[in-house]
């Protein structure tokens, strides 16, 4: 199963990707998580990416295509994958198709998760991320006994630099300008399916599974 979870920042791609990854035992490939790890580890890519990410802009297609080519060719993706945060531009989508064509392993489904801009801004501004296990929480919706401690692993919860209000607006603009055309790209290939990203997490999972024909 090779799935792309598509949609604006904060729509819930990461949350759903983790659930689907566990259900289908296929890796959750989040390019954002990979870049954050590169920043933490101080790699060359991390050094180039940090200021771009903090500003809510997109890391170059060249870097991103290099990263994704390596990962989809790796052994861990042999039986499938869930992409979260890639592709974010039409050239990235085209490059992914080329790589997968060579492997003879095409994408099975592109799930576009959708919600209102107000909901996104509201969610991102209250989002907390665990520095250890990458779990995502919402300051308002989740019952956290300590807003600084991850209830799953005890790691430190933090607000991502790019989840701060001034950067959220920039990211939405980038999404509309550079990323939303990717939706038309997949719509033309007949792979695109749309899911309402508002409401209960379990219900959203059920809706995605229905689209994937697994109940
Ligand atoms: P995310 O965690 O998916 O919201 O990604 C965080 C940030 O990483 C984005 O705002 C971009 O700066 C960068 N990023 C992640 N994936 C990509 C991608 N496919 N293309 C370009 N930049 C990306």
pLDDT (average), residues 15-19 = 96
pLDDT in tens, 100-115: 999 999 999 999 999 9
Average pLDDT of the residues of the chain: 95
Task: Check residue 215 and give its pLDDT.
Answer: 42
Q: How many whole angstroms from 215 Cα to the centroid of ligand 1?
A: 31
Q: Percentages helix, strand, coil for the chain, rounded to the nearest 5?
A: 50, 15, 35
pLDDT in tens, 130-161: 999 989 999 988 889 998 999 999 999 999 99
- What b/e sequence results for 13-39 when a residue is b if at least 16 CB atoms lie within 10 Å of its CB, and e otherwise? bbbbbbbbbeebebbbbbbbbbbbebb
Task: Check residue 21 and give its pLDDT.
Answer: 97
List the chain domain ranges: 2-115+179-212
DSSP character string of 114-156: E--HHHHHHHHHTEEEETTT--EEETTTS--SSTTB-TTT-PB
CA–CA separation, 83 vs 72, rounded Å?
10
Task: Note if 88 is an active site residue.
Answer: yes
Q: Is the CB of 53 under 6 A from ligand 1?
A: yes
Which numeric CATH code is attached to 2-115+179-212? 3.40.50.300
User: Which residue carries 């920042």 as its tokens?
Assistant: 9
Share of the chain above pLDDT 90, in %: 93
Q: What is this structure's pTM? A: 0.92
């Amino acid at each position: 199963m090779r799935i792309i979870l598509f949609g604006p920042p904060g729509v819930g791609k990461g949350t759903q990707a983790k659930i689907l990854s566990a259900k289908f035992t296929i890796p959750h490939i989040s390019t954002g998580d990979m870049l954050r790890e590169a920043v933490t580890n101080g790699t060359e890519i991390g050094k180039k990416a940090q200021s771009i990410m903090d500003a809510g802009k997109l890391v170059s297609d060249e870097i991103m295509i290099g990263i994704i080519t390596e990962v989809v060719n790796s052994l861990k993706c042999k039986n499938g994958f869930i992409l979260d945060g890639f592709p974010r531009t039409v050239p990235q989508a085209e490059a992914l198709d080329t790589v997968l064509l060579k492997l003879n392993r095409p994408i099975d489904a592109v799930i576009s998760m959708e919600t209102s801009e107000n909901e996104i801004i509201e969610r991102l501004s209250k989002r907390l991320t665990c520095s250890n296990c990458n779990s995502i929480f919402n300051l308002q919706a989740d019952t956290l006994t300590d807003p600084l401690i991850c209830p799953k692993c005890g790691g430190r919860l933090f607000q991502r630099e790019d989840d701060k209000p001034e950067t959220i607006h920039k990211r939405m603009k980038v999404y509309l300008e550079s990323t939303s055309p990717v939706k038309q790209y997949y719509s033309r290939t007949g792979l695109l399916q749309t899911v309402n990203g508002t409401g209960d997490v379990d219900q959203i999972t059920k809706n995605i599974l229905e689209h994937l024909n697994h109940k």
